[in-house]
Structure 1
Amino acid sequence: MNKQMKQGGVFLLSYLLVVLFLRFEAQADQNCGDVRIGWIDWPPYQYKSSDHSDHFPEGIDIDISQDVFTELGCNIVFVHKPWKRLFVELEAGQIHVLPGISYTEERAEKFLYSSAYRTEELSLFVRKADIPTFNFDSFEELFQTDFRLGIPRSSYLGPELTEIREAQQYENQIFERTGGESLEMIIMGRVDGFLIDHETGIARMQASEKYRNAIGYYNRIRYSIGDIHFLLNMDKFKGDLLSRLNAIVEARVP
């Protein structure tokens, strides 16, 4: 009898430990805790606040991040790093979220994506004085001229522009530079125009009288590169936490 009671007690204790472990695992999946959000200087989406603090940035993506991850119950820490470094640290789990990211299959092999929370559109920014001389409505027509096109380096540009960028026949007409160089290259005449996120181009023009006076955008070419997501560390956002995040994001989208 005593032996049976001992065996029963051991079984019950084991059962309770398993139940407690599974409950702890479920709670861990639901608990957001600290979430480190990486950002770069990219007005009007992400930029330093008036007090120039790396830990309290401002912008469209920043505001949405604050609202979404606060509602998720996270303790938010913003981290400012160079673009390429952010991806290295996201994969390593040193940061957990990158806002403002387009979907690519290559990234999806290493990271998770949230539901989309906005879209992005590129405009062709050019010298104002040149606008009356242009007469094209597509990239195909543009490249039939001697137009020199600047595009942002290391950025996703959608399927059509990615194919154009990789085509050897256009290599003498395409110039890849960092986004921060774009308007200056137009002013200096090193390119005839530069494809820039529409809101970013407007923000950069508004920040400088020189750019406001000299640069505009050619409104016969507007190019959508599609949905924009939060890019997420796989280990941090798993199970119920990802589902809850997506539910919050989807509830915000009109």
Structure 2
Amino acid sequence: MGSLMFKRLMFCIALCPCFTEACVLRMAAETNFPPYQVLKDQNWQGQTVELAQMLATEVGCELHIVNIPWLRALAQIKSGGLDLVSHLSYSEARKKDFAFIGPHHNESMWLIGNPATLPKVTELKDLTETVDLGRIAELIGAYYGEEFSRLKQNAFFARQLVSISSIQDKLALLEAGRVNAILEDDSVLQYWQSNGYKNANKYQPLVLVYQSPVYFGFSKTTLSRPMLVKLQNAWLKLFEQGDITKVAQRYQVKTAELLPPSSKL
């Protein structure tokens, strides 16, 4: 092949979109984590699914959702098997592996149970001294705040905790009597109740455990710094256009105003 023909071929390859590498963002999701992630008729729905899709489109990427439990998803992010996870609380320990884009909502984590069958709990530290709830489900790998981490050092409290690996198991564990209380965002309980989940109305928030913004956590292993900056700028643009707030309002009006961008790369 002559040098002129070769140059023309390379010029055409550079211009042709069919030779452009596809951008795919692999997002972890639980099968049933309403109102944020719901698999219905083989289609993913929910607040964080919709927001992630919007963000991926804005940066010219396709979103691919992988059905995987929370703890395994965190490990996959670190090893390079996934690109993002939602509902990630910021901490210094996590910033080595994750870039935090968002927040996508303000999470209120409560101790939830049936007040008719449980001893009264006034504050979280009661569980280290006088109140024994028997079994409390906590999600492995979840962050419930500094106070909770400190109180876990108390033997009376620690023996009440039951570690589980999947978000979707919590209501089932309550129903089966395998645990007496769970740690969960109150918006999840509201969804259960408003959508007629079996016996959901008998469960109530008992004590606020932790409240903080939660983010999309993007992998620093699989995504370059320029891509992370692009995602950060795209989130800011979508927020300023009002698109993110509109999605939040469709799912939970009470937190829609608590979403000022504060990404941390």
Aligned residue for 1:48?
39
Considering fraction of residues, name the structure with more helix.
1
The secondary structure found in structure 2 opposite 1:116 is strand
Larger radius of gyration: 1
TM-score, normalized by length of structure 1? 0.72
The answer to whether the Cα contact below 8 Å between 1:127 and 1:187 also exists between their aligned partners in 2 is no
Gaps of 5+ in 1: 1-23, 25-30
TM-score, normalized by length of structure 2? 0.69
Which whole-Å CA distance do the structure 1 matches of 2:48 and 2:227 have between them? 20
1:64-113 Cα shifts (integer Å, max 9, x gaps): 10111211221222222233332333233332121221223333222332
Letter of the structure 2 residue corresponding to residue 230 of structure 1: F
More displaced 10-residue stretch of structure 1: 62-71 or 93-102 = 93-102
Aligned residue for 2:23?
33
1:160 Cα offset (Å): 1.0
The answer to whether the Cα contact below 8 Å between 1:125 and 1:217 also exists between their aligned partners in 2 is yes
The 3 A distance-change label for structure 1 pair 209 and 99 is: closer
2:184 equivalent among 196, 205, 208: 196
Which whole-Å CA distance do the structure 1 matches of 2:73 and 2:173 have between them? 26
- Does structure 1 residue 96 correspond to structure 2 residue 83? yes
The 3 A distance-change label for structure 1 pair 187 and 89 is: closer
The answer to whether the Cα contact below 8 Å between 2:127 and 2:157 also exists between their aligned partners in 1 is no
- Does structure 1 residue 168 correspond to structure 2 residue 190? no
The answer to whether the Cα contact below 8 Å between 1:32 and 1:72 also exists between their aligned partners in 2 is no
Runs of 4+ deviating beyond 6 Å: none
Aligned residue for 1:13?
none
The secondary structure found in structure 2 opposite 1:117 is strand
RMSD of aligned Cα (Å):
2.9
Aligned residue for 2:170?
182
The secondary structure found in structure 2 opposite 1:106 is coil
Letter of the structure 1 residue corresponding to residue 103 of structure 2: A
Aligned residue for 1:72?
59
The secondary structure found in structure 2 opposite 1:89 is helix
The 3 A distance-change label for structure 1 pair 223 and 145 is: closer
> Percent identical across equivalent pairs?
20
1:113-172 Cα shifts (integer Å, max 9, x gaps): 2242322111232225247x62x4311234422333513231211111122223323233
Letter of the structure 2 residue corresponding to residue 164 of structure 1: L
1:204 Cα offset (Å): 3.2
- Does structure 1 residue 241 correspond to structure 2 residue 227? yes
Letter of the structure 2 residue corresponding to residue 34 of structure 1: V
Which whole-Å CA distance do the structure 2 matches of 1:166 and 1:225 have between them? 21
2:49 equivalent among 62, 78, 91: 62
The answer to whether the Cα contact below 8 Å between 2:48 and 2:104 also exists between their aligned partners in 1 is no
Q: How many residues align?
A: 217
Gaps of 5+ in 2: 1-13, 15-20, 240-258, 261-265
1:48 Cα offset (Å): 0.4
Aligned residue for 1:8?
none
Which whole-Å CA distance do the structure 2 matches of 1:87 and 1:207 have between them? 29
The secondary structure found in structure 1 opposite 2:131 is coil
Aligned residue for 2:70?
83
